[in-house]
Copies of this chain bind each other. A is one copy, B any other.
Amino acid sequence: MLLCDIGNSSYHFLDKSTDYKKSVQNFNPQSMQEKIYYICVNVKIKNILEKLDNWINLEEYFSKKNYYSTMGIDRICACEAIKDGVIIDAGSAITVDVVNAGVFQGGFIYPGIKAMSETYKNISSSLEYPFNYNLNLNALAKNSRDAISYGYLKTLHREVISHKKDIFLTGGDADKLCNIFPDAKINQYLIFDGMKNILQRVDAR
């Protein structure tokens, strides 16, 4: 079974246990003959795929009533992957979602690492530092680099751990955040796990 998670920059495929990416700019979805179950946050590509019989949009297969109308389908799929926990999906934005006993409790959106780095730099050139991921989270900052790192990372950390749940880390910048969340489970297949769970429930109906 072939799964595909389509974002703004790439098609992310999972073929059994092998994943690979294709750029949205030069991949032609008509080149695929087999059946592909997908989710897609890219409106332009979604319109193309709707016309192709072998591309099956999983979004239509399940109830979104536990979620909210403008919530990205990728966030919803990640939530469908777990029964209980906090999901941190670290990409261009960092989305944080809380699931309790299988039910989405709400979440929030925080700027991604690249975006936040630009933000500090644009406020003042004196704040142009790479974030310190080895920051001591137990001490307020006493230098400029730590001051922006604490502002960005400690505030996020304190909010996430306040929910007292297992932490699941996914997305392109998960490897950068794992120092801040050393107990988090890193799972780059979380969205695919959610897609599989949805498919299983569809089959069981």
Contacts and interface: CB of A to CB of B under 8 A. Distances in A.
A199 interface: no
A108 interface: yes
A122 interface: yes
Contact of A108 (B93, B110, B140): B140
A139 B148 CA distance: 27
A49 interface: no
B93 A126 contact: no
A111 B143 CA distance: 16
Contacts of A142: 68, 106
A159 interface: yes
B140 A110 contact: no
Contact of A93 (B124, B139, B156): B124
Given A68-B142, A143-B68, A158-B158, A115 B110 contact: no
Contact of A123 (B93, B127, B152, B156): B93
A116 B111 contact: yes
Given A70-B144, A98-B140, A108-B151, 9 more contacts: A68-B142, A106-B139, A106-B141, A109-B127, A109-B144, A110-B155, A118-B119, A155-B158, A158-B162
